[in-house]
Chain A
Amino acid sequence: QVQLQQSGPGLVKPSQTLSLTCTVSGDSISSGRYFWTWIRQNPGKDLEWLGYIYNSGSTYYNPSLSGRISISVDTSKNHFSLRLTSATAADTAVYFCARGGVDDSRGFFDLWGQGTLVTVSS
């Protein structure tokens, strides 16, 4: 059974970097079959797609994040990570990792992490 397990701090100070990790169990992150994705949900419950990493290196980010985001992968640990620099209160949200198929017919998000509430506050 494939699972996504998130980890990372729940409190980040303004202007600092938000960092989260999603560990994949039951599947290889290097399979090339999935976009490993980050999505967040603000306190108003809006969902925002942040970006993905694919095939151990290719990335695509939401332009709305103005270059503050990076997603990386560690194949030896079978996990992928999110970094969001220059955090502000607007980045306070529940962050989810998710798996989306590369094949267009399978591009939906069929597996999600448990979510991590990150609060940006001094």
Chain B
Amino acid sequence: DVVMTQTPLFLPVTPGEPASISCRSSESLLDSHDGDTFVDWYLQKPGQSPQLLIYSLSYRASGVSDRFSGSGSGTDFTLKISRVESEDVGIYYCMQRIAFPRTFGQGTKVEIK
């Protein structure tokens, strides 16, 4: 299985400040056929189901604030929040879909300082 490793696992943030989460995969998530990179990011807010934030490395899902951005290549990926707001608290997960079974990172818990 493709192993997804996130850092940090806990991230205290200050409202208005930027924040970033890293994710590394055990093999490349670049699809050589069409050039897409199959990593997605999800946010699970307290008491809710996960929701899609970013798909295929850098595309924001419908309705997602432009404060969120995804970047990276191959095996190293980053989710950035340009200015953290209180509603951004929760657990962030990266997920690969280059192969089955799909696998997730361990999650990064983001809390307000």
Give chain B residues whose Cβ lies under 8 Å from the Cβ of A100. Answer: 97
In angstroms, Cα B13 to Cα A83, docked, is 41
Give the tally of cross-chain contacts (CB within 8 A): 54
In the assembled complex, B49 has its CB within 8 A of some CB on chain A? yes
Within 8 A of A (CB), among B70-101: 91, 93, 95, 97, 100-101
Query: Secondary structure of the A side of the interface?
Result: mixed
Q: Quick check: B107 and A46 within 8 Å, CB to CB?
A: yes
Report if A105-B34 is in contact (Cβ < 8 Å); known contacts: A47-B93, A96-B50, A113-B49: yes
Q: What is the distance, in angstroms, from B99's C-beta to the closest C-beta of chain A?
A: 11
Known: A104-B34, A105-B56. A112 touches B104 (CB 8 A): no
The one of A47, A49, A112 in contact with B51, judged by C-beta atoms closer than 8 angstroms, is A112
- CB atoms of A45 and B101 under 8 A apart: no
Stretch at the interface among A12-20, A25-33, A56-64, A70-78: A56-64
Give Cα distance in the complex from A107 to B100, angstroms: 12
How far, in whole Å, are A101 and B17 apart by their CA atoms in the complex?
35
Give the size range of A's interface with the partner.
20 to 34
Chain B residues with Cβ under 8 A from A109's Cβ?
Answer: 40, 42, 50, 52, 95
Q: Is B68 part of the binding interface, using a Cβ–Cβ cutoff of 8 Å?
A: no
Q: Say which residue of B34, B40, B101 sits within 8 Å of A108 (CB atoms).
A: B40
**Which among B50, B56, B95 has the greatest number of chain A C-beta atoms within 10 A?**
B50
Residue of A nearest to B62 (CB): A110
**Whole-angstrom distance between the alpha carbons of A63 and B100 in the complex?**
10
Q: Which residues of B, 54-68, contact A by the 8 Å Cβ criterion?
A: 55-56, 61-62
Tell me which of A51, A64, A104 contacts B38 (CB under 8 A). A104
CB distance from A82 to the nearest CB of B (A): 15
Besides the contacts A47-B50, A96-B49, A109-B40, what 11 more A-B pairs have beta carbons closer than 8 Å? A48-B104, A51-B101, A60-B100, A62-B101, A105-B34, A105-B36, A108-B97, A109-B50, A109-B52, A112-B50, A114-B49
